Amino acid sequence: MRINNVEVISFRVEVPWRLSRWGYPVQGDPVPRTQTITKISTDDGATGYSIGGDPNVMENVIKPLFVGEDALDRERLWVWMDQMVTSTPYLNERQMGIADCALWDLFGRTVNLPVYKIFGGARERVKAYASTHPNLGGPKIYADHALACKRHGYKAYKIHANIYWDPHNKRPAPQQPGYPKEDVAICRTVREAVGDEMVLMLDPFGVYTLEEALWVGHELEQLGFYWLEHPVIETRVETCRRLTRDLKIAILSPEHVPGGIFSRAEWVLSGASDMLRIDIGYGGITGCHKMVGVAQAYGIKCEMHGGGWAHNQILGSTTEATCEYYEHGLLGPGMDYPKRLPYLKSVPDPLDDDGNVILPKSPGLGMEFDWDYINGNLVQR
């Protein structure tokens, strides 16, 4: 089963957000965007797909590396890509992850099994938390939304409050300064609204200083919050160590530190976090699965950042003791979710009445594409 082609399919979609001058998404009217799908093919007709992929990287870096190799040698190809990430400027972890996911999808489709069953299935439903879109408004808006999510079946709710946003002037702002008092006011109002039976978390996306994060952490402890995620800029590792040492609430980090499993293992050993965070952008399914094994060995949780088809496979192959939740979002008033993307025939994360995501049973990553839509909106390179 030799790889004979790596290609990127580019097509037009519309997304309901744009980037502010500070580089953070802002909800608004739909804007056109080019979406891509990476496709890996073999000489015996097998194919695998992954959503995303930079055409230049896949054509000029991944394709020369992969063509002629056995598509089943995923570990060897993963090591090769990791070596390139660490030693050259031509490949980054996100593109590496996309290629790795396509290889797993190809294998799953070949043996007619979802990837999580190949790893050794552990569950077919995963507890979901409602993860809010940031900058929804004042405390009452969040409280009303949390109650709506509770009625919908969610048992947990994560707040993204004022992120790259000035709540007083209601406009985009730099990452810092943050607004810890305004954020805590939202958290307090949500707790009062939903009561003690709903699990609550806060993700301020690195907007606090050490002093602000300590204050917020102590306030959240009194409110019974489960975790405080990514509270400070994550390149300040000593700041995270102090937070983990001085707060009782669990610190969930790092979220966006490069280095995948290798840097996160160092965070654990240095005491910079209580719980780990990773996604397929840091080494693909292979990298995430390795990280989950490390977390399991240390007896700590490793929560997947975001949802999606590939993360389903990690969650389905682990137990709640290591990967507890599926992040369902981003949600807000008037934002329908789950919402099917126009180029897919289903959503990756349908929700049951008890707030669980039902994992797909289709082969590979579980995706089925609407090729009529894709072919009708192709972008020629």
Do residues 41 and 367 lie in contact, with contact meaning Cβ atoms separated by under 8 Å? no
**pLDDT reported for residue 381:** 62
CATH classification (class only), 3-112+370-376:
alpha beta
Return the closest-CA partner of residue 103 out of 375, 295, 287, 259. 287
**Side-chain half-sphere CA neighbours of 193 within 13 A:** 21
For 49-60, how does the pLDDT look when each residue is reduced to its tens digit (9 = 90+)?
999 999 999 999
Question: Taking 70 as the threshold, does the pLDDT of residue 67 lie above it?
Answer: yes
Location of each CATH 3.30.390.10 domain in the chain: 3-112+370-376
Q: In the chain, what percentage of residues exceed pLDDT 70? A: 99
Residue 281 to residue 96: CA distance in whole angstroms: 8
Residues 6 or more apart whose CB falls under 8 angstroms from that of 362 comprise: 114, 368
The pLDDT confidence band at residue 339, using thresholds 50, 70 and 90, is confident
Quote the pTM value. 0.96
**pLDDT reported for residue 23:** 85
CA-based diameter of the chain, in Å? 60
Location of each CATH 3.20.20.120 domain in the chain: 118-358
Do residues 126 and 349 lie in contact, with contact meaning Cβ atoms separated by under 8 Å? no
Residue 156 to residue 191: CA distance in whole angstroms: 11
Give 118-358's CATH code, choosing from 3.20.20.120, 3.40.50.10360, 3.40.50.300, 3.30.450.20. Answer: 3.20.20.120
Stretch among 18-27, 201-210, 244-253, 298-307 having the lowest mean pLDDT: 18-27
Torsion, Cα of 152, 154, 159, 160 (10° steps): -70
Question: Taking 90 as the threshold, does the pLDDT of residue 321 lie above it?
Answer: yes
For the segment 263-276, the average pLDDT, to the nearest whole number, is 96
